[in-house]
Amino acid sequence: MKRTPHLLAIQSHVVFGHAGNSAAVFPMQRVGVNVWPLNTVQFSNHTQYGQWAGEVLAPAQIPALVEGISNIGELGHCDAVLSGYLGSAEQGRAILAGVERIKAVNPKALYLCDPVMGHAEKGCIVPAEVSTFLLEEAVARADILCPNQLELDSFCGRRAESLEDCVGMARGLLARGPRVVLVKHLNYPGRDADAFEMLLVTREESWHLRRPLLAFPRQPVGVGDLTSGLFLARLLLGDSDVQAFEFAAAAVHEVLLETQACASYELQLVRAQDRIAHPRVRFEAQRIPQV
């Protein structure tokens, strides 16, 4: 029997609703990956409600928890690390130290960095020092980088002007360390207003994917966390980059269909769980010719 992959997920947790690990852990488990959640913050709810309670994990707890896993002989079984929302830059540096420790005992382990930089207009609050850390330190250490358009623009210091420009910007990030850049949500001038667009760029190829843009009174939170988690999970299960890209897009769309049907602000992960594992739809990624 093939061994079940193990993944250390280091990001936020909310008691109510779905964001960070609360959006990603169950779907990753549902598709067949053992997840070890390490929560960078524990909040009552996500910050886009405008109020919340809870606290940020002390940075020293991250290496202590990694050390605890090592002490029971399990650290070498970790196949990947996923990092997302950070409460401080110190947390980020502790995560990088943990990634280094894991790669020392399992050189094949992957590190996916979901570089959450926040969006003040949407109520997503991230300390400025975290954005600086992501820009200056994290990108060079990641095997896989999963920005949205805002974060891609921030990494590159300018706004994208076209799809081709987005590809070029992603290729610039590849030159800084990652082997894969997945842009979870494109928002460039002239894009299709009725579609949700995504981009996958590797050193060899680039792929563009469109799925229908579903209407919500308020867009659900946690979609990016769900996307990054499912993409990494499917890679660990043996998918190619493109297969994992297409699967993640289809599974997320299934969740959003269920969320829309329930007129919910929170992702309906439990109701959609069978469709997460077995999406009914498929969105084919289109290869972008190299220029």
- Which amino acids are annotated as binding site, given as ranges? 12, 47-48, 114, 151, 184, 211-214, 225
| Contacts of residue 267, Cβ cutoff 8 Å, sequence gap at least 6 | 18, 23, 220, 221, 222, 223, 226, 255, 256, 259
Query: Residue ranges for the binding site for ATP?
Result: 114, 151, 184, 211-214
Query: What does the chain come to in residues?
Result: 291
| Lookup result for tokens 């910007």 | 169
Structure token pair of residue 208: 């563009």
Q: Do the Cβ atoms of 141 and 122 come closer than 8 Å? A: no
Hey, which bits of 218-271 come out as E strands?
A: none
The single-letter DSSP state of residue 56 is E
Residues placed in the known binding site for substrate: 12, 47-48, 225
> What's the distance, CA 111 to chain centroid?
11
Do 187 and 149 meet the contact criterion of CB atoms below 8 Å apart? yes
Report how far residue 145's alpha carbon sits from residue 135's, in angstroms, rounded to the nearest whole number: 11
Tell me how far apart the terminal alpha carbons of the chain are, to the nearest angstrom: 44
Which residues neighbour 144 within 8 Å (Cβ) at sequence distance 6 or greater?
Answer: 110, 111, 112, 113, 178, 179, 180, 181, 182, 231, 232, 235
> Between helices 61-71 and 89-105, what is the axis angle to 10°?
20
Distance CA 188, CA 115 (A): 19
Helix (H) or strand (E) holding 41: strand 34-43
